[in-house]
Amino acid sequence: MPKVVDHEERRRELAAAVWRVITRDGVANVSMRTVAAESGWSSGALRHYFATRDELLAFACQQVLARVTERITALNPQGEPHEVVRVLLLETMPIDTERHVEASITFAFLALGLGDPKLAAVQRQILVGMSGLCLNLISHLLPMESRERQVSLARRLNAVVDGLSVHILASHLTPAEAVSELDAHLADLPT
């Protein structure tokens, strides 16, 4: 057998190059060539692991989801329920450089794939996962509320988190302002 490389590992490495290109030059500048140059490989080598550009983009998007969910599940927060919810949700918001990269990529893909069904599936995973997390958190935080009320508050929490994230990304809020607003929202939840 000839030299064989770990395909999955190589694909992750190439996805990281996609992230760097997106954060530096914007999602519009992601091409086979730019990603190849960024990763240090030739375009032909890139094509061994991703047949088309759409495939490359979809994988890069999925990798963001994988990283965030892995970080969240690895996290095992202790302490007061409000604090637990806070820590978990902050894991998804662009409050530092690493998370800012992830969030900007997520939103770039969301806007880019408003019509592309290939990417829409990945987006769906992200949104469903996020809303599921919110519903879990709310139901643990407010177990006495009715189910409909829980669903409503979870939807709203989801909207607050994503809305604040968008406003950070657009430089309309600072991370500190957004975090304190999330805190205020959690504090205002019905007891």
Q: Is the dihedral of CA 153, 159, 162, 165 positive or negative?
A: negative
Closer of 16 and 127 to a second copy (Cβ): 127
Given a contact cutoff of 8 angstroms between Cβ atoms, the answer to whether 95 and 43 are in contact is no
Q: For residues 29 and 48, what is the distance between their CA atoms, to the nearest angstrom?
A: 21
Q: For residues 11 and 5, what is the distance between their CA atoms, to the nearest angstrom?
A: 11
**Residues lying near a second copy in the complex (CB under 8 A):** 25-28, 104, 107-108, 110-112, 114-116, 120, 123-124, 127-128, 131, 152, 155-156, 158-164, 166-167, 169-173, 177, 180-181, 184-185, 188, 190
Residue 3 touches which member of a second copy, DNA, none, C-beta under 5-8 Å by kind: DNA
Q: Is the dihedral of CA 145, 153, 180, 86 positive or negative?
A: positive
As a whole number of angstroms, the longest Cα–Cα distance in the chain is: 64
Among 26, 42, 114, 172, binds DNA (CB under 7 A): 42
Residue 162 touches which member of DNA, a second copy, none, C-beta under 5-8 Å by kind: a second copy
CB of 36 to DNA, least distance (A): 8
Residue 118: name the closest of 32, 54, 47, 50 by CA: 54
Using rule CB under 7 A, residue 26 touches DNA: no
Binding site for DNA (CB under 7 A): 1-5, 7, 10, 29-34, 41-45, 47-48, 51-54
